[in-house]
């Protein structure tokens, strides 16, 4: 049971200690570390929602200093810049009583900008290109894997074909840095949002809630983004305008990803309307997500649903 008589100073100290523990877990634990990293902004978000932005900033600063002393100053700075703003903005928007439909995209936008700033900070201070470093590690990992396959007696032609496909894939990944940052922003925003709301409800505070997944509706702007990105891909590819092609490629995949989310939501709504069992829903979803053609159909269905709202054809809310 949460102690309501706890002083703000003690609460801030406890939450700062939790942030430090999560940071240490993120650095030293290979599997749990990923979850700890996504939840690193949680204590700051809870404190900001309860006591305001000033106290949240103070705890973030104290946490960064302690982690710099215990682990490494550069790593501490990266964590604070990449994830700290997520907790601050999320907590402040909850404190102000914003609705979830506005809190989530606003927090995700801040997270995306913060991660871009962290990448720029590393490049500015240490002269290290994070993307190039990650690609280099991936290449080394693939080379070690291929060497292991050779010692196991795998056919050389098969290995050569696999090697030939690795480099184009890595080049594609290098062009998708903004999309990678966007996916990371979506991941930590989702984890932090739901856990923060859950913690706040446990201690007796009001917290916003999302509508049921079957009722989600994303803005139709994603359909127009897809249209403009396809034009940009054509122009950038045919006229060799590299920057236009890369921007359009990232926007195209982001719009398609939004279409997949909307398509799954429409699928869930339809399944609830016709009382399809959950087992059959998950089987159908697995088939859709593992088949490239069906996945594209699902994405386009979701994108057009943003504009035409197919749910109206079913008349009213899904039956219970």
Same domain, 239 and 193: no
Same domain, 194 and 220: no
* 319: in domain: no
Intra-chain end-to-end CA distance of the chain, in Å: 34
Same domain, 308 and 189: no
Burial letters for 50-63: b for 16+ Cβ neighbours within 10 Å, e otherwise? bbebebbeebbebb
* 266: in domain: yes
Same domain, 38 and 106: yes
Supply the DSSP string of 93-155, one letter for each residue.
HHHTT--HHHHHHHHHHHHHHHHHHHHHHHHHHH---HHHHHHHHHHHHHHHHHHHHHHTT--
* 147: in domain: no
Global pTM exceeds 0.75:
yes
* 153: in domain: no
Of 49, 84, 44, 57, the residue nearest 208 (C-alpha):
49
* 59: in domain: yes
Q: Each residue of 191-219: pLDDT tens digit? A: 999 999 999 999 888 888 888 888 888 99
Query: For the chain, how many structural domains are there in total?
Result: 2
Same domain, 120 and 230: no
Same domain, 228 and 88: no
* 157: in domain: no
Same domain, 64 and 195: yes
Helix (H, G, I), strand (E, B) or coil at 300: helix
pLDDT (tens digit, 0 to 9) for every residue of the chain, 320 residues total? Answer: 455 556 777 888 888 899 999 888 888 887 788 888 889 999 999 999 999 999 999 999 999 999 999 888 888 888 899 999 999 999 999 999 999 889 999 999 999 999 988 888 877 776 666 666 666 666 666 677 777 777 777 677 777 777 777 667 767 777 788 888 899 899 999 999 999 999 999 988 888 888 888 888 899 999 999 999 999 999 998 988 988 999 999 999 999 999 999 999 999 999 988 888 999 999 999 999 999 899 999 999 999 999 888 887 765 544 43
CATH code, 68:
1.10.1760.20
Same domain, 116 and 44: yes
Same domain, 230 and 265: yes
Of 40, 17, 37, 47, the residue nearest 199 (C-alpha):
47
- Domain span at 40: 8-126+178-202
* 166: in domain: no
In the chain, which ranges are E strands? none
Same domain, 22 and 121: yes
CB 190, CB 41: distance < 8 Å: no
Same domain, 120 and 224: no
* 167: in domain: no
Same domain, 191 and 63: yes
């Amino acid at each position: 049971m949460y102690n309501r008589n706890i002083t703000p100073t003690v609460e801030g100290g406890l939450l700062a200690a939790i942030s430090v523990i999560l940071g240490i877990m993120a650095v030293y634990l290979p599997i749990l570390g990923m979850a700890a990293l996504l939840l690193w902004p949680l204590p700051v978000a809870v404190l900001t929602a309860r006591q305001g932005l000033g106290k949240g900033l103070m705890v973030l600063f104290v946490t960064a200093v302690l982690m710099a002393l215990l682990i490494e100053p550069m790593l501490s700075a990266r964590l604070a810049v990449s994830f700290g703003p997520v907790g601050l903005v999320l907590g402040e928007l909850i404190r102000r009583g914003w609705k979830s439909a506005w809190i989530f995209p606003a927090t995700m936008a801040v997270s995306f900008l913060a991660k871009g700033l962290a990448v720029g900070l590393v490049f500015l201070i240490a002269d290290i290109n994070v993307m190039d470093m990650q690609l280099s590690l991936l290449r080394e990992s693939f080379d070690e894997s291929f060497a292991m396959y050779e010692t196991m007696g795998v056919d050389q032609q098969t290995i050569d074909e696999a090697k030939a496909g690795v480099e184009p894939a890595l080049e594609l990944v290098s062009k998708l840095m903004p999309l990678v940052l966007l996916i990371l922003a979506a991941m930590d925003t989702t984890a932090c949002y739901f856990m923060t709301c859950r913690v706040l409800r446990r201690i007796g505070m009001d917290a916003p809630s999302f509508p049921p997944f079957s009722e989600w509706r994303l803005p139709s702007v994603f359909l127009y983004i897809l249209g403009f990105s396809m034009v940009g891909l054509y122009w950038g590819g045919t006229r060799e305008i590299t920057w236009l092609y890369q921007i359009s490629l990232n926007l195209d995949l982001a719009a398609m990803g939004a279409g997949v989310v909307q398509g799954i939501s429409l699928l869930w709504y339809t399944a609830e309307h016709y009382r399809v069992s959950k087992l059959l829903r998950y089987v159908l979803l697995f088939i859709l997500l593992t088949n490239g053609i069906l996945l594209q159909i699902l994405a386009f269905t979701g994108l057009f649903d943003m504009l035409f709202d197919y749910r109206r054809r079913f008349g009213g809310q899904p039956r219970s």
